[in-house]
Amino acid sequence: MPKLKIAVFVSGSGSNLQALIDAVNAGIIKGQIEIVISDRPDAYALQRAEEQGIPALCIDKKARRDEASFGLQLMSCLASVKPDLIILAGFLSILPSKFVEEYQGKIINIHPSLIPAFCGKGYYGEKVHRGVIEYGVKISGATVHFVDENTDTGPIILQQAVEVTADDTPETLAKKILPIEHKLIVKAAELFCDKRLQLDGRKVKIRGVIK
């Protein structure tokens, strides 16, 4: 079976990207990362990609004119790749609706909370963990989901919880959740590339046993 083509979108240091690269190199994910795209020129993730010989480029968030032009730039960058799967691995820009429509069912995202809690507009990065602690909830975690036209509302693929303790800070909670993000994003990519995910309305059915 030919390997699926993967594009990874990033905004920051790229630790989730690194987890994906390691899993591809180990043969866990039956796919190949063909391109890495960032919306920030100083994202360390771009260097991670280049060190692995993966084409990496930036569509600067500050330089783009509007949502429509951003979407056109993204589609232009992917035209030669024709990805089977797009992974948002800590990508902070909102994808234009036309782009999402073009790649419907082929985009997955990792979010550092248990969706539908602490997600949507304004909830990203440390703001998610700060919101969790200020609200006083006892568990948080991470979620991998398919991307739809709205923010963090697509069908959920995988979730895992962690305890929020009384002495947690946004920083300590982020450190607890990051390894879970790595685990879930790799597993979701593995399941997608193995063609074990089936969308049924809002539900994602997973064929076989998850190990």
Question: What does pTM read for this prediction?
Answer: 0.95
- Whether 177 maps to a domain, the answer reads yes
Question: Would you say 143 and 134 are in contact if contact means Cβ atoms under 8 Å apart?
Answer: no
Average pLDDT over residues 76-83: 93
Residue 23 dihedral angles phi and psi, to the nearest 5°: -70, -35
- From residue 140, alpha-carbon distances to 15, 43, 77, 153, 172 in Å are 20, 27, 35, 17, 12
Q: What is the mean pLDDT of the chain?
A: 94
The domain that holds 157 is classified in CATH as 3.40.50.170
- Whether 34 maps to a domain, the answer reads yes
Tokens 């929020």 correspond to 164
Q: How far apart are CA 202 and CA 19, in angstroms?
A: 27
Question: Would you say 185 and 85 are in contact if contact means Cβ atoms under 8 Å apart?
Answer: no
- The domain of 133 spans 4-206
Which DSSP state fits 80? T
Q: How far apart are CA 17 and CA 21, in angstroms?
A: 6
Q: What is the pLDDT of residues 136-188, one digit of tens each?
A: 999 999 999 999 999 999 999 999 999 999 999 999 999 999 999 999 999 99
- Whether 55 maps to a domain, the answer reads yes
- Whether 16 maps to a domain, the answer reads yes
- Whether 211 maps to a domain, the answer reads no
Is 111 part of the annotated catalytic residue set?
Answer: yes
Q: What is the pLDDT of residues 22-64, one digit of tens each?
A: 999 999 999 999 999 999 999 999 999 999 999 999 998 776 6
- What's the total number of domains in the chain? 1
**Catalytic, out of 111, 129, 145, 182:** 111
- Whether 150 maps to a domain, the answer reads yes
- Pair of tokens at residue 47: 């260097």
- Whether 159 maps to a domain, the answer reads yes
- Whether 164 maps to a domain, the answer reads yes
Name the percent of the chain in helix, strand, coil, to the closest 5.
35, 25, 40
Q: Is 75 helix (H, G, I), strand (E, B) or coil?
A: helix
